[in-house]
Amino acid sequence: MSQVPFLDLGATYRELQGEIDAAVGRVLSSGWYILGPEVEAFERAFAVDCGVKHCIGVANGLDALELVLAAVGIGPGDEVLVPSNTYIATWLAVTHVGATPVPVEPDEATFNLDPRKIEAALTPRTRAILPVHLYGLPADMEPIRAIARARGLFVLDDAAQAHGGLYRRRRVGGLADATAWSFYPGKNLGAYGDAGAITTDDDDLADRLRALRNYGSRVKYHNEVAGWNSRLDPVQAAVLGVKLRHLDAWNLRRKRIAALYDAGLAGLPWLTLPRWEDETASSALHLYVVQTRRRDELQRHLTDCGVQTLIHYPIAPHRQPAYADLAMPEGSWPIAERMAREVLSLPMGPHLSEENAQRVIAAVRSFDGH
Ligand SMILES: *Cc1c(COP(=O)(O)O)cnc(C)c1O
């Protein structure tokens, strides 16, 4: 029996092979391998796509987050509000600049940071709110920005899962003071290796970020600040330039799969389906995440049926050994902990066939989930 893979990454290359090979060949024969015209061309294209003035290409998503935090001056003694239920990179970036991540629990209907829970998490040390558009659905940015404005806080968002997502008809990437992106291969806009970027409308911040990603230097061998080496690779920039032109079409295919799942999985009382579109937000559908109390059994059943699934994420950041020093025992953030026990990501991607989506549906429906 053939398998239904979670995501067929090679399919993106097979579909665009001619364009990708030409772009990569162009960079290799140019003799220019660090920053330069290919990186600038992608930065311009992605800024236009996001509807902002600036894009700064960096080495990966974690660096994008770290550089943004450093560029606005967040460091030791500062606190940053982060979702309790994100990928650990969001927290690690805060930790790496010497600040403290302060978890805020999500709204259970959207999985995103709940603006109603922000006030209780604020202290005199709070400097920024860092929402994540988890699984591709934009967080509710308007109330978050209103609180930030009233308190003089930065809003920095982690858009690693939300390429092409919409909030109040605006593209993710222009919804905060600055937005951190990952182009990890499995993301909606993915490179063939590590890559990341920051988008912003703030001229000064963009200028600082360009220096920070390049040894803190604006002029070669003049180092104004202790910067990083975190530059977007021109080969990856050329690949991303090709794939960006297909992002919207590929996201539409994701929506068709999600609509099939919604219809095919409706009415199972033991299974909660994700919200991926509402009055304010339209998801990039990076992941289609269902919830059930018998998640582990359902996952085993699907494996037996030849359907590959993943868990995003099986352990909440505060329960990771990496954060043992925060001393947040089981029960500290119950929504994040419940999600870690109950979420399951079904196969999702632009190259998942409708036939395979129907096989996933049939396999889920053949499980006795009561
Ligand atoms: C993928 C991801 C990151 C990190 O991206 P890398 O490019 O792997 O460093 C950060 N935050 C979230 C929510 C992610 O999904």
Q: Over the stretch 343-355, which tens digit does the pLDDT of each residue have?
A: 999 999 999 999 9
Distance 89 CA to ligand 1 centre (A): 6
Closest CA to 55 of 186, 195, 193: 195
Please say if the pLDDT value at position 369 is more than 90: no
Compute the mean pLDDT over every residue in the chain, rounded to the nearest whole number.
97
Mutate to test the pocket of ligand 1, among 184, 192, 232 (most ligand atoms within 8 A of CB): 184
Query: Rounded to a whole number, what is the largest CA-CA distance in the chain?
Result: 66
Please say if the pLDDT value at position 187 is more than 90: yes
What kind and span of H or E run contains 11?
helix 10-30
Tokens coding 6 = 């979670």
314, 320, 322, 328: CA torsion to nearest 10:
150
Q: What is the pLDDT of residues 219-258, one digit of tens each?
A: 888 889 999 999 999 999 999 999 999 999 999 999 999 9
51: alpha, beta or left? (left if phi > 0; alpha if psi -120 to 50): left
Cα separation, 190 vs 213, whole angstroms: 20
Q: What is the pLDDT of residues 278-292, one digit of tens each?
A: 999 999 999 999 999
Q: For ligand 1, atom 6, which residue shows the shortest CA distance?
A: 61
Q: What residues contact residue 106 under an 8 Å CB cut-off, 6+ apart? A: 83, 84, 85, 112, 113, 114, 134, 335, 336, 339
Distance 328 CA to ligand 1 centre (A): 23
**pLDDT over 90 for what percent of the chain?**
97
Cα separation, 173 vs 277, whole angstroms: 18
Distance 355 CA to ligand 1 centre (A): 30
Relative to the CA of 132, which ligand 1 atom is closest? 13
DSSP secondary structure code for residue 115 in this structure: G
pTM of the full structure? 0.97
Please say if the pLDDT value at position 370 is more than 90: no
Please say if the pLDDT value at position 196 is more than 80: yes
- Helix, coil or strand: residue 181: strand
pLDDT at position 2:
85
Q: What is the pLDDT of residues 44-96, one digit of tens each?
A: 999 999 999 999 999 999 999 999 999 999 999 999 999 999 999 999 999 99
Please say if the pLDDT value at position 1 is more than 90: no
Cα separation, 162 vs 145, whole angstroms: 18
Q: What is the pLDDT of residues 285-333, one digit of tens each?
A: 999 999 999 999 999 999 999 999 999 999 999 999 999 999 999 999 9
Q: How many residues does the chain have?
A: 370
Distance 347 CA to ligand 1 centre (A): 19
Residue 244 near residue 42 (C-beta atoms within 8 A): yes
Please say if the pLDDT value at position 27 is more than 90: yes
pLDDT at position 202:
98
Q: For ligand 1, atom 1, which residue shows the shortest CA distance?
A: 160
Cα separation, 206 vs 203, whole angstroms: 5
Please say if the pLDDT value at position 10 is more than 80: yes
Cα separation, 356 vs 354, whole angstroms: 5
